[in-house]
Structure 1
Amino acid sequence: MSDAKMLLDASDREMSAAYMMWYRYSRKPAAVIGTLIVLSAIAMAVFAPWIAPHPKDVGTVVNFRARHHAPELAHLFGTDQVGRDILSRALFGMRVSLLLVLGVLGISVPVGTVLGLVAGYFGGWVERVITGLTNVMLAMPPLVLALAVSNLLEPTLTNAMLAITLQWWTWHARLIYAVSKSVAAEDYIEAARLSGAGPLHILFREILPNCVSVISVKTTLDAAFVILLGATLSFLGFGVKPPTPDLGSMVAAGRQFMPDYWGEVLCPGAAVLYVTLGFNLLGDGLRDMFDVES
């Protein structure tokens, strides 16, 4: 009976903690708006082939009779220099940006997390090697390194992911290293070690759960920076290769026709703003929900 009561008390505490996190999150209108923006951006990217008014304009379509059309009912943001619908291409460009986020963070977050855990827990020469490598990589500006890699390789989405990922894992490694270093000094970690728990158990069952909140906040905020960096690479000509629509390359192509044909820049630029704003608001909401310090 006492065991059942203890289980009920533990369950009540977990529910209470979950409720408090949700309460802090829901009390932030900006966080709720950010969540809706991110979900809507994902939905638009996934269902782009069905909701885009002119999905065929994503490919190598040329219609010079319709070039530089002003915004109208058939083309809400007008057409570009070769007559393609700008809104349709922006929707597919949003898909490219989110795939870039998925690829970069899907690799850099696990790599950085594991290296940070190992450095913080083992210490010694392992810590010195990992932190030294991290500091060397952090000494190089992300954009400069990404431009160097992109300049050596063919401009594709995969190479853009590689260029950004080469430096992005370092931020997560440093963050998780600081958290794991602090947690590894706790008494319950020493108790787990004395009870016979192995390093893998301590790393992934004892220390990693304490890092979930900061990983979630950091990953969400990083998504916005990855989108901006990917758009910058494409804007400079080192991103996704045409005719694949990309928000940065669309802005670069449309700027030469400003201000007469403002829709060619406004639509992809607004798409970048929309997605990055959503991820930033969502990250702020998660930070408040987990009560993570800035």
Structure 2
Amino acid sequence: MSAPDMELSAGRGMTSRQMAWYRFSKNPAAMIGAFIVLSVVVGAIFAPWLAPSPESAGNLVNFRDRHGAPTWEHLMGTDNVGRDIFSRVLYGYRVSLGLVVGVLGIAVPFGVVLGLTAGYFGGWTETIIMRFTDVMLAIPPLAMALAITAVLSPNLINAMIAITMLWWTWHTRLIYRIVKGQMNEDYVEAARVAGASHFHIMFRELLPNCISAISVKISLDAGFVILFGAALSFLGLGVQPPTPDLGTMVSTGSEYLPEYWWEALMPGLAILYAILGFNLLGDGLRDMMDVET
């Protein structure tokens, strides 16, 4: 029996949600991505209890253990002042996930509202919003972020502001494209005939049909936000020491390459691990919900 036939056979008697979960659970890459994301979230939340050396997240200085190679006691080794790198990675995930929540928590609603407004009303409203979006999309995101954080004092809040300044644009374009394709559907016409308000049609009729695409986009964006935040910190324009941050750890560790390779490699692998997880999860959600982003 072919794979589509097996899926059709298994889908008999299932609800749409059960069928979606069945497709997701049968995707090995998606399950691996979900496991990676879950491990990152759990590690960040429970860092004080999971970290073998919680004090390494602060101003700890232990020159007797500085530049220690990976061992069972220090799984990722120690840095230039003797702090446990694995512990700092767990706390660094807290910073990265906080950046993801802050950036996407602002950029997604803002971009979605603009995309809904442009796609629904059309005319001059569409022209103004979409041309402004095109202008913002033409600016290289990293260059914009570097300019903003260079003017403002380097810290987590300003890094969040810098990334958010351009991140809404992709969500605006995505929602605009979906709404324009839905405007002639029967359910929209039925709502208009029934006398529904613009607000009702936009947020009660059109928006629910965008949720799948928004969910997939958020999953994929999370990895890129982590990468952007790490890039800013690597250049010294993000989170400042002694706060554990993966990008800052890579930057500091690179000064001691190649002799003490673990000081840069281990935080770098931690960044790769998180980004891989979010990308695999996003691809799995896209296949599960059968959407294009």
- Tell me whether the two structures share a fold, i.e. TM-score over 0.5: yes
Q: Which residue identity does 2:184 align to in structure 1?
A: A
Q: Which amino acid aligns with 1:29?
A: P
Is 1:92 equivalent to 2:52 in the alignment?
Answer: no
Map of 2:277 onto structure 1: 278
TM superposition shift of 1:73? 2.4
Structure-1 separation of matches of 2:17 and 2:86: 40
Distance 1:113 1:53 in 2: 42
1:213 is the counterpart of 2:215: no
CA distance in structure 2 between the partners assigned to 1:71 and 1:54 by the alignment: 14
What residue is the counterpart of 2:5 in the other structure?
A: none
1:114 partner amino acid: V
Q: Give the AA of the match of 2:284.
A: G
2:45 equivalent in structure 1: 46
Deviations 1:107-153 (A, max 9, x none): 10111011100110011111111101101110101000000001011
Aligned-residue offset at 1:14: 10
Structure 1 runs, 4 residues or longer, greater than 4 Å off = none
The CA distance in 2 between the partners of 1:76 and 1:189, in whole Å, is 57
Q: Does residue 79 in structure 1 map to residue 98 in structure 2?
A: no
Could you say which residue in structure 1 is the equivalent of 2:185?
A: 186
**What is the match of residue 150 of structure 1?**
149
Q: 1:278 to 1:154 in 2, by over 3 A?
A: same
Whole-angstrom CA distance in 1 between matches of 2:177 and 2:20: 24
Could you tell me which runs of 5 or more consecutive residues in structure 2 were left unpaired when the two chains were aligned. 1-11
Q: Does 1:224 align with 2:216?
A: no
Deviation at 1:20, TM superposition (A): 1.9
In the TM superposition, what is the alpha-carbon distance from 1:24 to its structure 2 partner?
1.4
Distance 1:58 1:290 in 2: 40
Deviation at 1:45, TM superposition (A): 0.3
**CA 1:158 to 1:15, structure 2 compared with 1: closer, same or farther past 3 Å?**
farther
TM-score normalised by structure 2 residue count: 0.94
How do 1:10-21 and structure 2 match up within 5 A? 16-21=15-20
**What SS does the aligned partner of 2:15 have?**
helix
The CA deviation string for residues 52-75 of structure 1, in whole angstroms up to 9 with x for no partner, is 011111111212222111222221
Measure, in 1, the Cα distance between the counterparts of 2:187 and 2:105.
31
Displacement of 1:293 in angstroms is: 3.0
Q: Give the counterpart letter for 1:137 in structure 2.
A: M
- For residues 48 and 233 of structure 2, the distance between their equivalents in structure 1, rounded to whole angstroms, comes to 22
In structure 2, the partner of 1:167 is 166
Q: How far, CA to CA, are the matches of 1:15 and 1:59 in structure 2?
A: 51
Alignment-mate amino acid for residue 144 of structure 1: A
1:6 counterpart residue number: none
1:212-255, CA deviations, whole angstroms, 9 ceiling, x for partnerless residues? 11101111000011111111111111110111010011001001
For 2:247, the equivalent position in structure 1 comes to 248
User: Matched residues in 1 for 2:132 and 2:194: separation?
Assistant: 33
Q: Which amino acid is 1:52 matched to?
A: A
Aligned counterparts of 1:98 and 1:171: Cα–Cα separation in 2: 20
Matching residue of 2:198: 199
Of stretches 131-140 and 184-193 in structure 1, the one that deviates more from structure 2 is 184-193
Moved more, 51-60 or 163-172: 51-60
- Whole-Å Cα distance in 1 between the matches of residues 72 and 16 of structure 2? 50
- Which amino acid letter does the alignment assign opposite residue 258 of structure 1? L
Alignment gaps of 5+ in structure 1: 1-12
Structure 1 residues 143 and 282: CA distance shift in structure 2, 3 A: same
Which residue does the alignment assign to 1:10? none
2:281 is aligned with 1:290: no
